[in-house]
A and B are shown apart, each in its own frame.
Chain A
């Protein structure tokens, strides 16, 4: 990114943050339109987080729905509207954690079939070659993520899948920034040794 583009990007980001803060303030006051706008802004981000954690689209859709209902019900508890994004991701993070606990609990009693496998039909396009490439990348990425330790995994997903800043990741996970950096360092170091995945990253950007 050139310095000019970087400046422009930063300005756009700060405008967007400001807009989100105002929406959050209105949402806290019970403004329905603002609440819906926040859903529009974060819907895909939250879905992506849940998808990368659960690896199933069906569950991800349901869990995403539940997270936004939880958001709505707890808006009155939000203390700083300018931290809405981290707050929402905290809700999502905790909700997903509870989901896995319930799954585990059911598993202990033999009431579920375990974590479902990735279904390639989840994301069919009209282009079989493209589907295959997508699937190959997703498989390698999931494989890489699975091999990370628990915190490396959490932090890698929030930072690189959800594009959160280190400061935001720290707020979501309630850890200090240097702890986040340490785990991030280990995750990136592992990535640097993963030639299979890196081969898919070099050469083309699509």
Chain B
């Protein structure tokens, strides 16, 4: 733009968000034009008022969060070990099963189901420990895509476009 031209509305909004995003010519114009500067100031003060009013008019919480006594993590840490132990025990039991480890059909099915259940429990615990349970919380850029995909998938299952949802 020409440095003698006043800033248009779009540029004013850009300046309100971050003045350093303006081009050199726009910044030069701003340095010399009180009219455009006061237009930006007026806009900024409206937004300041909005921030203040949003604070003042919102209710205050009536109670302060109460935190539990420090959680005993030892059980959590031992859970995977416990699950692994259980799986090993069941394996031993399986080998020592009557019929020399060649159980009848029903017993095999029950055993497999039990093992599957134990494995699943173990995986859940490992995942929890690795922090997958808290997915999407302050992880680096590489994990953004995954989080977004999950987000979009959830939106597909449960649409969130009615305005009432985040």
Contact = CB atoms under 8 A, between A and B. Distances in A.
A160 B50 CA distance: 8
Interface string B18-44: 100100000000000000000000010
Given A30-B70, A39-B64, A150 B160 contact: yes
Nearest to A32: B70
Query: Which secondary structure dominates chain A's binding surface?
Result: helix
Interface string A101-122: 1011100100000110000001
Given A44-B60, A57-B59, A150-B166, A188 B49 contact: no
B158 interface: yes
Contacts of B56: 134, 206
A83 B160 contact: no
Interface stretch (A3-11, A18-26, A48-56): A48-56
Contacts of B141: 174
A83 to B, nearest CB: 7
Given A68-B65, A188-B47, A79 B160 contact: no
Interface in A65-87: 65, 67-69, 72-74, 77-79, 83, 86-87
Interface residues of A, number: 76
B149 interface: no
Contacts of A60: 61
B1 interface: no
Contacts of B68: 69, 72
Contact of A181 (B18, B47, B57, B64): B18
Interface in B136-166: 136-139, 141, 143-144, 147, 154, 158, 160-161, 163-166
Given A60-B61, A87-B137, A181-B21, A160 B54 contact: yes
Given A43-B65, A77-B134, A174-B138, 16 more contacts: A30-B70, A60-B61, A65-B65, A94-B134, A101-B154, A103-B165, A108-B158, A115-B164, A138-B58, A147-B163, A161-B51, A174-B143, A181-B17, A185-B17, A201-B49, A206-B52
